[in-house]
Amino acid sequence: MAQGIARTYRCGVRCATWPELDADPALAFAAAHCSGAATGLLLVFAAAAADPHAIAAAIHAHFPGAPHIACSTAGEIGPNGYTENSIVVVALPAEGFHVSTLAIEDLSSIEFADIVRRVERLRVDHDARPPQGFEHAGAFALSFIDGLSRREELFISAIHRALDGMPVLGGSTGDDLAFERTWCVADGRVLIDAGVLALVRTKNLFSAFRHDNFEPTEVRLVVTDCDQEERKVRELNASPAAREYADCIGVDPAQLDSMSFASHPVVVKVGGEYYCRSIGHANPDGSLTFFCAVETGVVLTVSRSRHLVESAKAAFNSVVSEIGGADFVLGFDCALRRLDAENRQMKRELSDVYHEFGVIGFNTYGEQFGSMHLNQTFTGLAIGARTC
């Protein structure tokens, strides 16, 4: 018989993990753990094989009326670290978190200005009449975007424009590396080709942050021919892209695979900082398909890895110290980081670090931070003690 794992954090957040994909017992177990505390926002992260309609029904049955967002993943992170083929439930208590959500559908055809207008309207409504005690609370936003939409850059940049400096972070939905279909659930509905946004006022201290474990080398790759819409690079340095990249990392082009790309991402310099631009796969025609937007003329830099586990520890220690202690981190962790950890035989160690610092979340097809859509990055929200 399946047994769940539940944990309550000092900040009031409650989490439950169910080791099977049967939605009703998973949400029933979570509801029992959350009994007695009204839920301000319910987050559900589930392996892609879970039935999203069953999840929507179970949320309605066990958390009636609670604002909620559920999504498919490329792996889950529960109270004991990495898990898979599971359902992870996170409940932010209404006592400390006031939340409004917005689903934006038809991502494949929606215009930038339409997203900006809808998010601006949401913020006006959200800020108009905050509940008593939330008048001076801090605010952040969480984004969940269809990881196969190829519209993440449009979505996150529009949100950033509309929210005018509010911290924004999130992740792209996954489907266990099948790259066929991802889904979200919001307002009781199953959504495809959509993005979901949560605006959150909180009485708790918090810090939004990003972390990766790569640093640039001297090796440059200039995109000399690409299909921007398809995120497909045909040439690097005026040579077939897959061959040029393989030569730079010292492997046979025929041997390029997900592990190669996870271990040797490229980075791009924006505003004095480097951001990962990971490769999804090599194509039979010698081109490379990326997880992020690319365009002709962009200069990519081959990166090298810093210690995956030690760099994660340092990042978490820094952010926890920044807010005076925290035992909960909502985490959006790129699926390629998990693959890289497996390749380096560090997955168990990294999972233990997540357990130590109270990381709960999921493995993504891309991460959002501020106005940027990223790859091979961990974006997180550390939540500390109540301030009001």
pLDDT for 325-373, tens place per residue?
899 999 999 999 999 999 899 999 999 999 999 999 999 999 999 999 9
Contact 333, 108 (CB under 8 A): no
Per-residue confidence (pLDDT) for residue 36, from 0 to 100:
87
Taking the C-alpha atoms of residue 388 and residue 366, their distance in angstroms, rounded to an integer, is: 34
Residue 388 has pLDDT above 80, yes or no: no
Closest C-alpha to 293, from 232, 231, 245: 231
Quick: pLDDT tens for 26-44. Answer: 999 999 999 988 999 999 9
Ordered by start, the domain boundaries in the chain are: 5-211+309-386, 214-305
pLDDT at residue 1 tops 70: no
Q: What is the pLDDT of residues 235-293, one digit of tens each?
A: 999 999 999 999 999 999 999 988 888 888 999 998 888 999 889 899 999 999 999 99
Give the whole-angstrom CA distance, residue 61 versus residue 130.
27
Alpha helices in the chain (DSSP H): 23-33, 52-62, 112-128, 152-163, 241-249, 258-263, 308-322, 335-343, 347-356
C-alpha dihedral sign at 270, 209, 134, 129: positive
Residue corresponding to tokens 């939409």: 149
% of the chain with per-residue pLDDT over 90 = 88
Q: Distance between CA atoms of 173 and 87, rounded to whole angstroms? A: 14
Q: Are 71 and 362 in contact (CB under 8 A)?
A: yes
pLDDT tens figures, 61-103: 999 999 999 999 999 999 999 999 999 999 999 999 999 999 9
Task: Give residue 375's pLDDT band: very low, low, confident or very high (50, 70, 90).
Answer: very high
User: What is the SS3 assignment for 54?
Assistant: helix
Structure tokens at 110: 């929606």
Q: Write down the pLDDT at residue 165.
A: 87
DSSP string, 324-378: T--SEEEEEEEHHHHHHHHHTT-HHHHHHHHHHTTEEEEEES-EEETTEEESS-E
What percentage of the chain exceeds 70 in pLDDT?
A: 99
| 279 C-beta neighbours (distance < 10 Å), count | 28
* DSSP secondary structure, 273-329, as one string: EEEEE-EEEE-TTS-EEESS---TT-EEEEEEEPPHHHHHHHHHHHHHHHTT--SEE
Which distant-in-sequence residues (6+ apart) come within 8 Å of 340 by Cβ? 259, 262, 263, 305, 308, 376
Give the helix ranges, DSSP H, for 68-182: 112-128, 152-163
How far apart are the C-alpha atoms of 329 and 90, rounded to whole Å? Answer: 11
- For 184-231, write each residue's pLDDT tens digit: 999 999 999 999 999 999 999 999 999 999 999 999 999 999 999 999
The model's pTM is: 0.94
